[in-house]
Chains A and B, each alone.
Chain A
Amino acid sequence: MIGIVDFQVAFPKSRITAQQMHESSGRPVADILAWTHCTEIPVFTEDEPAWELVAEVARAVLDRSRVTPDRIGQVVYAGSGEWDYPGWSPAAKVSAELGITGAHCFEVVNFCTAAATALHLATDAIAAGRIEYALILCGDQASRGVDYTDPESVSLFNTGDCAVAVLVGGQDVRFEFLRAKTVTDPSWADFYVGEHEDGRVVTRRRGRQLNLPKVYLDTFTALTHDILAAGGIGIADVRYLLVNQTDRRMHERLLDILGMPAERSVFNYDRFGHMGCGDAFIGLTDLLTGNHLDPGDLILLATSGIGFSWGVTQLRFH
């Protein structure tokens, strides 16, 4: 059995508030809240490097699991590529901080589905016997790519940052990795494009494509059915379906299409924005701390990222 042994999520100290977004963009606060759903969102700033908080949570996970650094064979830093510094490996930096010297450290840029992609890579490497443990880390500064002065960027104002560390291995597994399927529709490659402005990369949407939400819903529905079919189960056998918090209306509609009651998902819109790769792990944390899971429960993670890529990952709780 291979899967998630342990994980932890932490949030930066800084917050961007809806009031600040209003003052920068000129959009009414009510208009902004329709997207963000919460009045403030955790974000990393230049004063709080993401990698430091990531190292902190990774150390906590390793200590709890009693896995020594020499047993980590792969360290994958997953996210949008908006790291603390350009041309720099946060995977290597955190590994140096943790004393992990025998691992392959690299980054996976698959935006908000990158952690799921990294989980797939890690479980493959463990199943093949190439490594014993993998450490997946998330901690990018996606919020820095948001132009809060641009009222047309309001759909990105819910972007937040967090730090996540996930230990993947073959012993003491809490969330068994069963299967995953990810697909990219490359026709959306240029829909979001980063532009260099004032020493940073700002994400801009190019044009208004009405059918993207439909592609989103159609693709997630098809992937979910594929995963269910591969496991020989139906949607009623799934205890929870967690969805990246990109848009609450899409989240609700996807559940509706799949015939999944809202209470079998996690809604954190009142507390957080869309926290990149962290969304799924924030949801899993809530399920654990709320004692909502029983051994054997099946969980689906629906994650998506710029590109656009969509993925569904099936886990079993132990």
Chain B
Amino acid sequence: MDERFAALLRSALPLLGDQPLTPDTPLTDLGMDSVATVILFMDIQKVFGVSLSDDDLVGATFATPGTLWSVISRSEGMVP
């Protein structure tokens, strides 16, 4: 997992503790509420220089690190 991505995720998950982050980690179970989601949404665009659509601001996108990363990967401006 991209280190910058993992760091952003960890800051949004107050209940993660020392647990490992995997692509299938359920984000809402670890305390990522709507405010944390939107802050993460904004920070991802800033850190990765990508442009995410407001249409991506839905539960399916933020279900797990894997679903979120797949949206980031195919977003406009993303350099692999």
| B: number of interface residues (CB 8 Å) | 17
Interface string of B49-71 (1 = CB under 8 A from A): 00000100111001000000000
When the two chains form their complex, are residues B14 and A213 in contact, meaning their CB atoms are under 8 A apart? no
Are A210 and B14 in contact, with the CB atoms below 8 A? Answer: no
Q: List residues 3-54 of chain B with CB under 8 A from any CB of chain A.
A: 14-15, 31, 33-39, 41-42, 54
Closest chain A residue, CB of each to CB of B59: A210
Instruction: Say yes or no for A132: interface residue by CB 8 A criterion.
Output: no
A249 and B14 CA atoms in complex are apart in Å by 13
Contacts of A250 in B (CB 8 A): 35
Tell me how far the C-beta of A19 lies from the nearest C-beta in chain B, rounded to whole angstroms.
19
Contact, CB under 8 Å: A208 / B57: no
On whether the beta carbons of B62 and A34 are closer than 8 Å, the reply is: no
Contact of A213 among B15, B31, B34, B62 (CB under 8 A): B34
Q: Contact at A211–B33, with CB atoms within 8 Å?
A: no
Query: For B14, what are the chain A residues with a Cβ–Cβ distance below 8 Å?
Result: 34
Kindly state whether residue A260 has any CB partner on chain B within 8 Å.
Answer: no
Complex: A250 Cα to B33 Cα, angstroms: 12
Closest to A248 in B: B35
Known: A34-B14, A208-B59. A214 touches B41 (CB 8 A): yes
Quick one: closest A residue to B36, CB to CB?
A249
Cβ < 8 Å to B, chain A residues 73-124: none
Q: Are B39 and A211 in contact (CB under 8 A)?
A: no
Tell me if A211 and B35 are in contact (CB < 8 A): no
* Interface assignment of A212: CB less than 8 Å from any CB of chain B: yes
Q: Which of B39, B41, B58, B62 contacts A249 (CB 8 A)?
A: B39
* Smallest CB separation, B26 vs chain A (Å): 14
- List chain B residues, Cβ under 8 A from A31: 15, 31
Do residues A210 and B62 form an inter-chain contact, with CB atoms below 8 A? yes
Given contacts A34-B14, A155-B33, contact A211 B38 (CB under 8 A): yes
Contacts of A262 in B (CB 8 A): none
Kindly state whether residue A289 has any CB partner on chain B within 8 Å: no
Closest to B37 in A: A210
Please state if B59 and A214 are interface contacts (CB–CB under 8 Å): no
Select which of B15, B31, B42, B57 is within 8 A of A210 by beta carbon. Answer: B57
A209 touches B36 (CB 8 A): no
A–B Cβ pairs within 8 angstroms, 28 of them = A31-B15, A31-B31, A34-B14, A34-B31, A155-B33, A208-B59, A209-B34, A210-B34, A210-B38, A210-B57, A210-B58, A210-B59, A211-B34, A211-B38, A211-B57, A213-B34, A213-B37, A213-B38, A213-B39, A214-B38, A214-B41, A214-B54, A214-B57, A217-B38, A247-B35, A249-B39, A250-B35, A253-B42
Known: A210-B58, A253-B39. 15 other contacts (CB 8 A): A34-B31, A155-B33, A208-B34, A208-B59, A209-B34, A210-B34, A210-B38, A211-B38, A211-B54, A213-B38, A213-B39, A214-B38, A249-B36, A249-B39, A253-B42
Binding site for B on A (CB under 8 A): 31, 34, 155, 208-214, 217, 247, 249-250, 253
B residues with a Cβ closer than 8 A to A are 14-15, 31, 33-39, 41-42, 54, 57-59, 62
